[in-house]
């Protein structure tokens, strides 16, 4: 599902469930829309698991998610301050964004990331070929695509060694080829974009990959909005 931009007022309505990420903190903090003022979204004060209020500095950009059916809506917003409404409800006040972006649940989102990796193809007899050095093109929680000089048949198995993943280091995983697409280079020759799905990747590794990719995506969005 391709992302699309939607007017924020259609999604960020009173009662809508929210999640916020602040700065480089990878923890998500739940909230909801309590009220809408003139150009300001009033959200329930997020707290840590220990019940400590989360309060960014004034003017800080926070990354927000609004929950939808089989999708989410993401946005960046400037933190304006905090206070209380109705006498006792602690709240954030953030500048209402003009637009939100509808996108797939993050487990299925592919993110453009260039990571050094080695690919060892496995033939029908189970013999493992010599590792080939290459780089990833995009990455998700359940697969990766990368460039090769030759096409690779679908369902071919491969042993992958992917370097530089936060909290993991080098990821060693088995994968299965799901696509092989020819790409014409400007100089006239071809390369091949190989897409694979991971085989039996432990859930804790998947979670760490998703967490990392989500952080990459969030930083990219923040830079784009700042520009």
Residue the block writes with tokens 């992958």: 160
Please report the pLDDT score of residue 34 as a whole number: 96
Structure tokens at 223: 């830079």
Which residues, other chains included, contact 156 with Cβ-Cβ below 8 Å and sequence gap of 6+? Answer: 121, 122, 176, 177
Residues 138 and 159 reside in one and the same domain: yes
Q: How far apart are CA 182 and CA 195, in angstroms?
A: 12
Q: What is the pLDDT of residue 96?
A: 95
**Per the domain annotation, does 227 fall within a domain?**
no
Same domain, 158 and 82: no
Residues 147 and 56 in one domain: no
Query: Of 162, 226, 171, which is closest to residue 204 (Cα–Cα)?
Result: 171
Average pLDDT for 20-33: 85
> What pLDDT, in 10s, does the model give residues 70-110?
778 888 889 999 999 987 899 999 999 988 888 765 445 67
Q: 120 pLDDT exceeds 90?
A: yes
Is the model's pLDDT at 227 over the cut of 60? no
Q: Are residues 210 and 129 in the same domain?
A: yes
Domain identity same for 123 and 162: yes
pLDDT at 104: 61
**Domain match, 159 and 119 both:** yes
Q: What total of structural domains would you count in the chain?
A: 2
Q: What is the pLDDT of residue 1?
A: 42
Q: Which residues of 17-46 are buried (b: 16+ CB within 10 A; e: fewer)?
A: ebbbbbeeeeeebebebbeeeeebbbbbbb
DSSP 161-221: EEEEETTTEEEEEEEEEEEEEEEE-TTS-EEEEEEEEEES--HHHHHHHHHHHHHHHHHHH
Per-residue pLDDT at 30 exceeds 90: yes
Q: What is the mean pLDDT of the chain?
A: 87
Residue 142 has pLDDT above 70, yes or no: yes
Of 34-48, 67-81, 144-158, give the lowest mean pLDDT range: 67-81
**Are the C-beta atoms of 77 and 95 separated by less than 8 Å?**
yes
Its domain, for residue 8, covers 4-104
18-32, 33-47, 120-134, 139-153: the lowest-pLDDT one: 18-32
pLDDT tens-digit series, residues 167-208 = 899 999 999 999 999 988 777 788 999 999 999 988 888 878
In the prediction, which pLDDT does 28 show?
Answer: 84
- DSSP 3-state of 99: strand
What is the model's pLDDT at position 106? 47
18 and 71, same structural domain? Answer: yes
Q: Which of 12-21, 23-32, 69-78, 107-116 has the lowest mean pLDDT?
A: 107-116
Number of residues written out for the chain: 227
Scanning the chain, the segments in alpha helix (DSSP H) are 8-11, 203-226
Q: Could you tell me if 204 and 144 lie in one domain? A: yes
Do residues 163 and 172 touch, judged by C-beta distance below 8 A? no
Percent of the chain at pLDDT > 70 equals: 91
């Amino acid at each position: 599902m391709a992302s699309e931009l939607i007017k924020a007022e259609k999604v960020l309505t009173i009662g809508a469930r929210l999640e916020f990420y602040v700065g480089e903190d990878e923890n998500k903090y739940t909230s909801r829309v309590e009220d809408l003022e003139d150009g300001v979204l009033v959200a329930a004060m997020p707290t840590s698991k220990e019940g400590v209020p989360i309060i960014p500095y004034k003017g800080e950009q926070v990354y927000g998610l609004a929950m939808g059916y089989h999708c989410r809506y993401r946005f960046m917003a400037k933190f304006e301050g905090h206070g209380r409404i109705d006498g006792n409800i602690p709240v954030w006040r953030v500048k209402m964004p003009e637009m939100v972006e509808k996108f797939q649940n993050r487990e299925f989102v592919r993110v453009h990331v260039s990571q050094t990796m080695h690919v060892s193809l496995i033939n029908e007899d189970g013999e493992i070929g010599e590792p080939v050095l290459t780089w990833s093109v995009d990455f998700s929680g359940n697969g990766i695509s990368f460039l090769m000089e030759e096409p690779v048949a679908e369902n071919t198995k491969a042993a992958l060694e992917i370097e530089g993943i936060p909290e993991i280091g080098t990821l060693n995983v088995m994968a299965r080829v799901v696509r092989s697409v020819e790409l014409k280079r400007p100089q006239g020759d071809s390369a091949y974009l190989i897409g694979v799905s991971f085989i039996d990747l432990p859930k804790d590794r998947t979670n760490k990959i998703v967490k990392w990719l989500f952080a990459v995506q969030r930083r990219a969005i923040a830079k784009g909005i700042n520009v």
